Structure 1
Amino acid sequence: MSTPVLSPVTTATPVTPAATVEVTARLLRAATDGTVPPAAVREVRLTADWAGPVTGPLAGEEAVQAACGIMHVHGRAAGRPLPLGVDYAATAAGVLAAQGVCAVLFARHRGLGLGEVRTSAAQGALLALSQYLAAATAPPGGSREPGAPGGATLVSAEGTAFEIETLDPEAWRGFWHRLGVPARSAGRGWGPFQQRFATAVCPLSGELRAAARAHPLAALRAAAEAEGVSLVPLPDGPVPEVPVEPVCLTAGPAYAPVPAGRATGALPLTGVRVVESTRRVQGPLAGHVLRLLGAEVVRVEPPGGDPMRGLPPLASGGSVRHSALNAGKRVVEADLRTAAGRAAVRALVADADVFVHNWAPGRAARLGLDADDLWRVRPGLIHAGASGFGDAYPPGSTPIGTDYLAQARSGLAAALRPAGEVPAPSLMTLTDVLGGLLCAHAVVAGLLRRERGGHGVRAASSLLSAAGLVPRPAVRRRARSPLELPVRTADGHLHLGARTAADLSLLARLTGPGTADPRAMAARFDRLPTAGWLERLALAGADATEVRCDLATLPGDPRFRDAVDPAPPDGHATVRSPWTFA
């Protein structure tokens, strides 16, 4: 099927990132094949460029990563800003673009006069940083960003890099006890390990790292298995071992839809009701995205509320990280371990269009809240399950479904790093964000199929399938020169454009006489502040981007005025909707 026409509606000559085109086309084929005529898809006017409403020159993936703060957050673990080695922002824009097109098609079928959608890589990058931006702009006393660097990747006696995962502090202590680490030392490592999802750093002690290096991988696996800890080695190759389809849409029972043409409102999912029972990032972000598209979202939380509400920093008595993903949702408390709690969910679903969860495999069936169960209550329901690994593992052997293990298993952890470096996941929650976007896309695609086909839909996605969506080198990782990494200036960091970094004669003239060695030239940038270098480079016709190293400055940057809302009193900055519809 042909991809939609990319119309020049946001700029005179918009440039659509290649990764965005690839991802958009792939997702639209899966969403509309056999359901929507290609001509109808092409009628939707789509603009997906680099900058969107962000003003100023953002002419590539790494410029977006530098300006929006991705390099800063990803580089926290290393103690310096670093680029992701993949087109992450452009991939996020591809999911947003496909989602926006499907949302417009759904709205048109229901009588809304929408025909145009705009999004961008910069908006995808900002959405991915929502939690980190909220933390950085929280009220005084809780807004300090983490300082101590350190990653969570460990290395065995054979030199094999691996990741471990557990959500249980006793399992953590038990694993290290089997490696000969005293309980006190293991306990000190639990806090950084548990908080790495929020802080993007994990400063584990040398004692823990040495204990891992003292044991072969087989012994480490045995210790992990005995304590219920997941352990995944990091492949050196960037390509997934087994390709995984991004989403799986399965038709459910037929139902009698309400006649089309009834919808009103400016957003494509106006009038859609979503019931969400999720936790952490992947599931709540899916609900957040659906709310931004216009849906009413009802969030089911355990009695006393989601424990994540207490995660610092706080504003107005609640976690700003939780607020970044859940503000605007109506909350209903229900204990799903009880018959009454499960009945409450069924009652909510009886009047809903969508049910979203990111429970562990098999839990929906054990609770009696799987698609087959809820279709008896609501035949036209879109039942969306966002898992960690889908069906990539045999039953009973699936690792804990969290971000960093998905990065490891998919090869994304290797693709992020240049050749010569040990593969390691980014501690920025890359697949949690892409997984949430992908789940929301599966929901919108399911709604479109339901409206046109008259049946409910089971929509499945995973962190692993989200990681596999990111384009990457087919065979091996590429080495980077020092000039392709952010260079330190007198007051910050600067990222040189690809052509500038490769033009050694130009850089030699600008940085002064001496050796033309790239490492030496990179070191000379500390002689002037960032603004001075930007002026010099611009006069020479060279491109470069200031690396944002403090997210708290982003809402006050006039270039981001139309993409980010500043923090209100006793609140935090928020990222605006990543789409414009017309």
Structure 2
Amino acid sequence: MTDLPRVLSGIRVIDCSIAMAGPFAAQRLGDLGADVIKVEPTRGEWQRFASAGGAQGNAVNVSFLSLNRNKRSLAVDLKAEAGQRVVRELVATADVFLQNYRPGVAARLGLDYETLREVNPSLVYVSMSGYGEDGPYRDRPGQDLLLQAMSGAMLSAGRAGEPPSPAGQFLADAVTASTAFEAVLAALLHRERTGEGQLVTVNMLDALTTLQMQELSVYTVGHVPQERGSQPNAHVYIRAPYGVFATADGYIALGFADLETLGAVIGEPSFAGLDPEVEGWSHRDELYEKTAAALSTRTSAEWLDALLDAGIWAGPVYGYADLVDDPQIVHNGTFVEYEHPTEGTVKTPGFPYRFSRTPARIDRAAPLVGEHTSEILGELGYGGGDVATLLADGVLAETRLDAVGTGGRT
């Protein structure tokens, strides 16, 4: 069994990503047989040394182990010209290049798409970000909890009147990884057919929004409000303060704050001198309570301005009404509209990735039952009489557009 080829055997992937979403996507490619080369600093990626839920490894910690199997490691200094040259030479042999650098970093390193396409015109270049390659939120931290909060999903769980309910896993990271993985496969298929490489962009906000295809369509198409009932429908592994906090007029999400910096912003002197990786674990309840008490005194907008200015990871908690009209969502074109023969204009989440050469689009509305039965069977060589017989026998069903609203199903 071990000698059997895998579907991506012969494909080489250069993985210049960190944290979870990028490495997870690259790992999936490796699991399917791709030769994944992880490019990391000479000191090693930071996640090798970061504890996961407080779990400490002997030499390599749990987070890194869980996201980087089926890879080879190239430790290189990308700040050095010679190091950049090595990676560009490697790119010349590659099929896929994946990065989730902060905006502007890839270009500064000479590893942006326009540079690398000159090295390898057939390269599939995947750029991952938190909110989009550009737009009003391009420089915000793309951290999982903040994206969950903004996606509207938190207000689809828990009790009415209680704090919003985050997922018990790194949902935004996982969904973005799956989206990037899917996009790579599609771009490789296009290259197989045409020889063309292309730029593929994936962002966490669109990935998590489009994941809620049914829920958001209930709101945007069905016009059913997002209301929680009186009963709950809900990380213990992250240091405090990490979660959703009530403000004077709503909620905000807060994650991975330096305790001393946070204390200075919210006016809590007891946070001075605390080690986030020590007291952040041992005094989680106390830290949460003090943070919650302070944040309840001002509005969400006031706190977000103050926290973001201080470099603290914070973001708004949205419901669907906020999400649909958000300027970044509008800028991204996250939602699409199309006309349906029975439902009229349909507004729904669109595509979580962008292809520079093969853009996604809607060519067909959601089909009616058997709308294309005759068309498909015709492509298979069935004659009209054969189709009619199968329809009459109940083997097939068909809805004719010219008979919609008049009992046109056969």
| Aligned AA (1:291) | G
Tell me the SS of whatever aligns to 1:385: strand
Are the structure 2 counterparts of residues 381 and 484 from structure 1 closer, same or farther at C-alpha, using a change threshold of 3 Å?
closer
Post-superposition offset of 1:416: 4.1
- RMSD across aligned C-alpha pairs, in angstroms? 2.3
Tell me the SS of whatever aligns to 2:14: strand
Match of residue 14 from structure 2: 275
Q: How does 1:467-546 map to 2 (within 5 A)?
A: 467-471=208-212, 472=215, 473-474=218-219, 475-480=224-229, 482=231
Are the structure 2 counterparts of residues 353 and 418 from structure 1 closer, same or farther at C-alpha, using a change threshold of 3 Å?
farther
Q: After TM superposition, what 4+ stretches of structure 1 lie above 6 angstroms from structure 2?
A: none
CA contact (8 A) 1:419 1:478 kept: yes
| Structure 1 stretches lacking a partner, 5+ long | 1-263, 486-582
Residue 117 of structure 2 is aligned to residue 378 of structure 1: no
Q: Distance in 2 between matches of 1:451 and 1:439?
A: 18
Are the structure 2 counterparts of residues 483 and 342 from structure 1 closer, same or farther at C-alpha, using a change threshold of 3 Å?
closer
Q: Distance in 1 between matches of 2:196 and 2:233?
A: 51
Q: Distance in 2 between matches of 1:281 and 1:370?
A: 21
CA contact (8 A) 1:282 1:435 kept: yes
Match of residue 366 from structure 1: 108
| Structure 2 stretches lacking a partner, 5+ long | 235-410
Superposed CA offset, 1:404-435 (max 9, x none): 22222222232344543333543621101111
Residue 170 of structure 2 is aligned to residue 429 of structure 1: yes
Post-superposition offset of 1:268: 1.3
Match of residue 297 from structure 1: 36
Match of residue 47 from structure 2: 308
Post-superposition offset of 1:457: 1.4
Q: How does 1:239-258 map to 2 (within 5 A)?
A: none
Which among 199, 222, 232 is matched to residue 458 of structure 1? 199
Residue 184 of structure 2 is aligned to residue 443 of structure 1: yes
Q: Distance in 2 between matches of 1:314 and 1:360?
A: 28
Match of residue 375 from structure 2: none
Match of residue 414 from structure 1: 155
Q: Distance in 1 between matches of 2:157 and 2:9?
A: 38
Q: TM-score normalised to the size of structure 1?
A: 0.36
| Aligned AA (1:464) | L
Match of residue 95 from structure 2: 353
Match of residue 82 from structure 2: 340
Are the structure 2 counterparts of residues 480 and 330 from structure 1 closer, same or farther at C-alpha, using a change threshold of 3 Å?
same
Q: Distance in 2 between matches of 1:426 and 1:409?
A: 13
Superposed CA offset, 1:342-400 (max 9, x none): 112111111110000011122212221111111111110000011111146337x6311
Q: Distance in 1 between matches of 2:64 and 2:70?
A: 11
Residue 138 of structure 2 is aligned to residue 390 of structure 1: no
Are the structure 2 counterparts of residues 424 and 481 from structure 1 closer, same or farther at C-alpha, using a change threshold of 3 Å?
closer
Superposed CA offset, 1:420-453 (max 9, x none): 3333543621101111111111111110111112
CA contact (8 A) 1:418 1:478 kept: no
Tell me the SS of whatever aligns to 2:197: strand
Q: How does 1:203-218 map to 2 (within 5 A)?
A: none
CA contact (8 A) 1:416 1:426 kept: no
Q: Distance in 1 between matches of 2:42 and 2:155?
A: 41
Post-superposition offset of 1:299: 0.1
Q: How does 1:42-57 map to 2 (within 5 A)?
A: none
Match of residue 401 from structure 1: 142
Higher relative contact order (CA 8 A, sep 6+): 1
Q: TM-score normalised to the size of structure 2?
A: 0.50
Are the structure 2 counterparts of residues 478 and 295 from structure 1 closer, same or farther at C-alpha, using a change threshold of 3 Å?
same
Q: How does 1:146-225 map to 2 (within 5 A)?
A: none
Post-superposition offset of 1:267: 2.0
CA contact (8 A) 1:417 1:477 kept: no
CA contact (8 A) 1:419 1:477 kept: no
Match of residue 66 from structure 2: 324
| Aligned AA (1:414) | L
Q: Distance in 2 between matches of 1:439 and 1:483?
A: 33
Aligned residues: 221
Q: Distance in 1 between matches of 2:154 and 2:133?
A: 21
Post-superposition offset of 1:465: 1.3
Superposed CA offset, 1:82-141 (max 9, x none): xxxxxxxxxxxxxxxxxxxxxxxxxxxxxxxxxxxxxxxxxxxxxxxxxxxxxxxxxxxx
| Aligned AA (1:479) | R
CA contact (8 A) 1:360 1:387 kept: yes
Q: Distance in 1 between matches of 2:168 and 2:151?
A: 15
Q: Distance in 2 between matches of 1:338 and 1:441?
A: 33
Q: Distance in 2 between matches of 1:317 and 1:440?
A: 29
Tell me the SS of whatever aligns to 1:469: helix
CA contact (8 A) 1:276 1:287 kept: yes
CA contact (8 A) 1:382 1:446 kept: yes
CA contact (8 A) 2:96 2:124 kept: yes
Superposed CA offset, 1:288-325 (max 9, x none): 11111211100001011112112232445211221111
Are the structure 2 counterparts of residues 425 and 393 from structure 1 closer, same or farther at C-alpha, using a change threshold of 3 Å?
farther
